[in-house]
């Protein structure tokens, strides 16, 4: 039963499906438009199917090889195709022997039929006033009409049967179940569940726009990637050799049976740290119990332990990931020097996008070296520039549209105010902070990414203390001494400053941050805090929460998920709306510049230098004027930042750009 959901989701929402062509509203053109796409993308669309049995069971198949079966009413193969339907879809072998012996052929025609049904569900018939899609969100008796239910019911009963049920109440039966039964049975299979026609259109048009970006692709400097992979391999080997020369490694080797030491084993490392050396674990694994405690040895834990020899392993693991995930992903997926990342709209539960093959949204940004190496491989087309358009603080602004906290609205509406600077001054007990000074900016970033955003997303003071003091401040998880941590002024280190303020240890800093957290929610943002409680209480009563953009999040969710999903989803939809509108203008005005991808709140454009100013102005108008005008729930100003590379230069060499 679950697998029909995967099939439907992949077919409807995988952006590889709707590659380059525009959708037409006339039925005679759709076959031509999708013919080549179907031919090329069959395996891509069904690659995540892991078990077909539940699909057969849901369609009343008996045991045995379903691909070679013909049931009692003549339906054939794993997806129960009727002979007449296959002929209508273009299958010409009247014996159907080849069809019954080919799993891949059956997949191909399953996709063809679902695309056909999807198209017909959106087409207005002369017989009926509404299309089936128009009924989404309505109820037929007690059954809520969903896109998932429409696709499932139309597979079994045909689009005509679905239309007759919706418009006339005619409930046909196939001998086992009625059309209404199927509408109910398949209603919640899909993760993406638009509750309004506008939500469906946003998702549908977003798929098309992202598919065109995928088709365009991003140029990769293949020789550069090969050189960097070799360079990283040499550094990895050197780090391993340096680690094996340490006393830490030699002690570990003595404590391990001969020939059994594996420096890649988290279990072995954990055992040596906590059982042999007797170190108190800063964190435990999820499988840990009171009877069998298991100390964690993940990256965050090793950083907290602050053991110099382990820093070699941390650096080595970073380089391995950079080589084997990021750069190798470019090499594996590039075709003729271009990568074509997938941009999916059906996987993230928060209704954001995701990316794969390779994951364009997984390029490191906080580690400067990793970011520069990855971005240094990506180039525009010859003679072009890379333009990045990034919404500023989008999720914070969207959250304000939900909770309407007056302090937050003041921060957003007053460009001279800076929430993160204020919090950095409060947390680190500073009289002034100048973010143009590198060390001061680190403290601001620590407040922003180590406290403010984690608090917004539901974290609490203890985790924030570890993140800020250890990860950002480079302080040990112990009593502090002069000269520790990052240098914040000439001759003054973070520990020096905090000790002078009476905070002499990590425990004292944790207690200090507990007071900061209380003030943050009770004095600075009390309306926001109350909204979170009210919103969660409403979810507990209804079992779901609705987004401003017409989507519904339902099912079992933790409190943090309840609060964050509508914010993150609606924020991404602001980007998706802008991406769609840019795509429309791009095609209407026949730009040589092309959209090539997106990363959460930003869009990437392969830009012709002669069009740069015009493209930037259009992007500014769409994101900051058209978007809030179209969606009146946006009650705060929106802003974007732009960065551009020089002609024929890599993404790593981008600089801030302002419209002239």
Q: What is the pLDDT of residues 425-463, one digit of tens each?
A: 999 999 998 888 888 999 999 999 999 999 999 898 998
pLDDT in tens, 540-585: 888 888 999 988 888 778 888 899 999 999 999 999 999 999 999 9
Give, in order, the Cα–Cα distances in Å from 375 to each of 14, 166, 604.
26, 51, 13
- Residues 6 or more apart whose CB falls under 8 angstroms from that of 92 comprise none
Decide: 588 and 613 in contact? Cβ < 8 Å: no
Model pLDDT, residue 194: 60
CA distance 154 to 181: 12
Percent of the chain scored above 70 by pLDDT?
86
Tally of CB atoms within 10 A around 406: 12
How far is Cα 556 from Cα 48, in angstroms, rounded to an integer? 24
3-state secondary structure of 252: helix
Cβ neighbours, 10 Å, residue 543: 10
SS3 (DSSP) at 545: strand
d(CA 210, CA 507): 48
Query: What is the predicted pLDDT for the residue at 55?
Result: 38
Q: Evaluate whether 352 touches 342 at the Cβ level (below 8 Å).
A: no
| pLDDT recorded at residue 405 | 95
Would you give the DSSP letter of residue 357?
Answer: S
All domains of the chain in start order, with CATH: 2-194 (no CATH), 218-339 (1.20.1060.10), 356-393+570-657 (3.30.70.370), 406-524 (no CATH)
Return the structure tokens found at 452.
Answer: 């403010």
**Cβ distance 323 to 236 under 8 Å?**
yes
Between CA 261 and CA 470, with CA 295 as vertex, the angle to 5 degrees is 105
- In whole angstroms, give the CA distance from residue 574 to residue 202: 10
Residue 202: alpha-carbon gap to chain centroid: 17
Helix 406-413 to helix 526-542 angle (10° resolution) is 120
Tally of residues, the chain:
660
CB count, 10 Å around CB of 153? 29
**CA 442, CA 568: separation in Å to the nearest integer?**
26
Spans of the chain, pLDDT less than 50: 1-64, 190-192
656 to 248, 327, 381, 390: CA distances (angstroms)? 45, 26, 20, 11
**Residue 600 pLDDT:** 84
Q: Left (φ > 0), alpha (ψ -120 to 50) or beta: where does 259 sit?
A: left
Q: What single DSSP character describes residue 96?
A: -
């Amino acid at each position: 039963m679950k697998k029909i959901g995967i099939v439907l989701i992949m077919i409807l929402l995988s952006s590889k499906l709707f590659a380059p062509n525009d959708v037409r509203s006339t039925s005679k053109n759709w076959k031509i438009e999708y013919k080549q796409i179907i031919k090329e993308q069959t395996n891509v669309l069904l690659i995540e199917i892991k078990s077909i049995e539940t699909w057969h069971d849901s369609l009343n198949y008996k045991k045995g090889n379903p691909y070679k079966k013909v049931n009692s009413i003549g339906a054939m193969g794993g997806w129960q195709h009727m002979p007449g339907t296959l002929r209508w879809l273009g299958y010409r072998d009247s014996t159907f022997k080849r069809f019954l012996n080919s799993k891949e052929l059956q997949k191909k025609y399953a996709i063809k039929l679902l695309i056909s049904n999807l198209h017909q569900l959106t087409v207005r018939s002369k017989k009926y006033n509404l299309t089936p899609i128009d009924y989404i969100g309505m109820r037929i008796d007690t059954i809520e009409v969903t896109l998932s239910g429409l696709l499932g019911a139309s597979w079994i009963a045909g689009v005509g049967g679905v239309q007759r049920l919706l418009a006339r109440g005619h409930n046909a039966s196939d001998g086992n179940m009625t059309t209404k039964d199927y509408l109910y049975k398949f209603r919640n299979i899909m993760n993406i569940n638009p509750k309004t026609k506008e939500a469906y259109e946003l998702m549908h048009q977003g798929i098309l726009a992202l598919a065109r970006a995928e088709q365009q692709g991003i140029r990769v400097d293949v020789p550069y990637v090969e050189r960097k992979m070799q360079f990283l391999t040499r550094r990895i080997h050197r780090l391993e050799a340096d680690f094996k020369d340490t006393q830490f490694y030699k002690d570990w080797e003595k404590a391990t049976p001969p020939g059994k030491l594996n420096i890649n084993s988290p279990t072995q490392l954990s055992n040596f740290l906590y059982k042999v050396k007797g170190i108190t674990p800063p964190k435990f694994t999820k499988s840990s119990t009171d009877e069998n405690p298991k100390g964690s040895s993940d990256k965050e834990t090793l950083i907290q332990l602050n053991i110099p020899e382990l820093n070699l392993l941390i650096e080595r693991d970073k380089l391995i990931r950079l080589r084997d995930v990021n750069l190798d992903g470019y090499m594996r997926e590039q075709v003729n020097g271009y990568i074509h990342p997938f941009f999916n709209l059906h996987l993230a539960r928060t209704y954001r996008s995701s990316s794969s093959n390779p994951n364009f949204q997984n390029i490191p940004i906080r580690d400067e070296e990793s970011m520069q190496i990855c971005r240094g491989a990506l180039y525009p087309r010859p003679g072009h520039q890379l333009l990045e358009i990034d919404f500023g603080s989008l999720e914070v602004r969207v959250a304000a549209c939900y909770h309407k906290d007056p302090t937050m609205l003041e921060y957003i509406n007053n460009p001279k105010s800076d929430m993160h600077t204020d919090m950095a001054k409060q947390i680190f007990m500073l009289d002034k902070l100048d973010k143009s000074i590198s060390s001061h900016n680190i403290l601001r970033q620590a407040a922003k990414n180590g406290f403010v955003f984690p608090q917004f997303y539901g974290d609490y003071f203890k985790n924030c203390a570890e993140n800020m003091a250890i990860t950002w401040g480079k302080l040990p998880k112990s009593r502090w001494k002069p000269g520790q941590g990052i240098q914040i002024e000439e001759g003054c280190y973070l520990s020096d400053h905090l000790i002078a303020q009476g905070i002499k240890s990590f425990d004292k800093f944790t207690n200090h941050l507990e007071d900061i957290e209380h003030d943050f929610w009770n004095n600075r943002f009390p309306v926001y805090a109350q909204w979170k409680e009210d919103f969660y209480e409403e979810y507990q009563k209804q079992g779901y929460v609705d987004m401003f953009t017409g989507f519904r999040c339902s099912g079992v969710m933790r409190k943090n998920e309840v609060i964050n999903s509508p914010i993150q989803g609606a924020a991404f939809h602001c980007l998706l709306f802008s991406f769609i509108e840019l795509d429309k203008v791009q095609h209407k005005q026949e730009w040589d510049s092309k959209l090539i991808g997106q990363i959460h709140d930003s869009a990437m454009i392969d830009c012709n230098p002669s069009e740069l100013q015009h493209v930037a102005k259009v992007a500014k108008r769409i994101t900051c004027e058209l978007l809030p005008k179209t969606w009146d729930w946006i009650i705060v100003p929106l802003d974007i930042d732009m960065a551009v590379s020089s002609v024929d230069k890599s993404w790593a060499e981008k600089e801030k750009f302002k419209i002239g």
